[in-house]
Amino acid sequence: MFKKILIANRGEIAIRIMRTCREMGIDTVVVYSTADKEALHVQMATEAYCIGGPMVKDSYLNQQAILTIALATGCEAIHPGYGLLSERADFAHLVTESGLVFIGPKAETISALGDKANARSMMQAAGVPVIPGSDGPVDNAEEALEIGKKIGFPILLKASAGGGGRGMRLIEDKADLRKLFLEAQAEAESAFGSGEIYVEKYITNAKHIEFQILADRQGGVVHLGDRDCSWQRRRQKMIEETPCTTLTPKLRAEMGEMAIKAIKSANYEGAGTVEFILDQAGNYYFIEVNTRIQVEHPTTEMITGIDIVREQIRIANGTPLMFKQEEIEFSGHSIECRINAEVPSENFRASPGTITNFVMPGGRSVRIDSAVYPGCEITPYYDSMLTKIIVHGKNRGDALRRMRRCLEELIVEGVSTNVGLLYVSLYDLSMIKGDYLTSTMEENLDDLLGYESMMRIDDEQRNIKL
């Protein structure tokens, strides 16, 4: 097993990876920016090196600097976490070329699946259902219009290199197509350096259901169940849970097998997630594979007892998976809330500042993945996520009640957060039933924000039996 790993990330995910490394007896090296001198990942790592200024391009995306530190400190592997360099095939390639191990899939796989238009074609060829849309990228609005006429509106313009909902535009009316096409293209170009756009039919009233996969180098592939990530704002996840309440056992098994088929067709290695859109009629369609650890992975760990980061490291070290599909046991229910430093009522603008007080919830079956502490500075340079709260319950009602209790307990002072909004979300009727869709949270936003300022729920709602 590796003795020393460089973690090319920051925040809660750097710490989460470090925890597993420590349990495995692996030393950790981190890099940091001048803005992160006091950051928790710097304090907790075995060794930490400052590599540049606050802007990610000067530090956390500085591939050469990261590699130099890894080589100079005798690291054997690099874990990229999520975001930042995690889905950069050129980085994976550079790491491997330097004789180190990249903890993730091969560069070719990242590149093939990272091009989402290409991934669609690959999956189609492998017999995985994809959403009706363009065969590969489209060159202009006229071409998108032709496809829209064929498959029917609404359509979604998506960036081939996309992520985080950027470069995506919903077209409900043909008249808006040209303008929105240019917008999507420009946004994709500036976010990803590629303005390539493809078209998918927009599936209305849908759920986002994904499957966590582990694939070893020897060809072993298992899935660790589904996650319902439909509680979204601007196509970004806010609350995730597993298992999805509305999936029948039959559909779950079928989708799980399809996810494995998708992964096998990509000759995949490591941990990954196959994302699907599920419509009201029970049809499911592939949307993408995320070739990295995901923010919401702890929910899966809570119900399976499997440490996904440990499996990533073992796979990267060439060790075969220790379990078969039928040996994976699923127990109870898990929910995750993402706590962000933002002001929901002001269009979710970021809320940087100094955390003056921070008290985490605790108790039975509660997991906190966090990188903040009283006195720490939340700078405007990075993602606004402060902390994740993950709970486990013997069933869904138990988990929901526990999460509500956790949010009541949590104290964050010095910056604004979305805690109130998350709290009232847990009382939304569709959340209580579990039948919420990807559009539900935004549709109910005004109501939710109305309650949010008070973080108060009326008695009728509070007494709905879970």
Query: Judged by CB under 6 A, which stretch of 159-167, 187-195, 413-421, 451-459 contacts ligand ADP?
Result: 159-167
- In 163-320, which residue ranges form alpha helices assigned H by DSSP? 177-192, 249-265, 297-304, 308-316
- 3-state DSSP assignment of residue 274: strand
Q: Counting contacts by CB under 6 A, is residue 227 touching ligand ADP?
A: no
Find out whether 289 and 266 touch, Cβ atoms under 8 Å: yes
Closer CB to ligand ADP, 168 or 313, in the complex: 168
Q: How many residues bind ligand ADP (CB under 6 A)?
A: 19
Closer CB to ligand ADP, 131 or 303, in the complex: 131
Q: Counting contacts by CB under 6 A, is residue 200 touching ligand ADP?
A: yes
Q: Which of residues 245-304 bind ligand ADP (CB under 6 A)?
A: 275, 277, 287-288
Residues belonging to the active site = 292
Q: How far is the CB of 96 from ligand ADP (least distance, A)?
A: 25
Residues 122 and 127: their CA atoms lie apart, in Å, by 9
Closer CB to ligand ADP, 293 or 313, in the complex: 293
Q: Contacting ligand ADP (CB under 6 A), which of 74, 127, 152, 164? A: 164
Closer CB to ligand ADP, 237 or 402, in the complex: 237
Q: How far is the CB of 107 from ligand ADP (least distance, A)?
A: 19
Q: Contacting ligand ADP (CB under 6 A), which of 165, 220, 352, 374? A: 165
- Cα–Cα distances (Å) from 108 to 89, 115, 268, 276, 335, in that order, read 7, 11, 10, 23, 34
CB-count exposure of residue 450 (10 Å: 0-12, 13-18, 19+): exposed
Residues 36 and 378: their CA atoms lie apart, in Å, by 9
DSSP 286-341: EEEEE-S--TTHHHHHHHH---HHHHHHHHHTTPPPS--GGG----SEEEEEEEES
- Contact letters (x/-) for ligand ADP, 205-224, by CB under 6 A? -x-x----------------
Closer CB to ligand ADP, 200 or 269, in the complex: 200
Residues 6 and 66: their CA atoms lie apart, in Å, by 8
What are 277's strand-pairing partners? Answer: 208, 285
Which residues lie near ligand ADP (CB under 6 A)?
131, 156, 162-165, 168, 200, 202-203, 206, 208, 232, 235, 275, 277, 287-288, 438
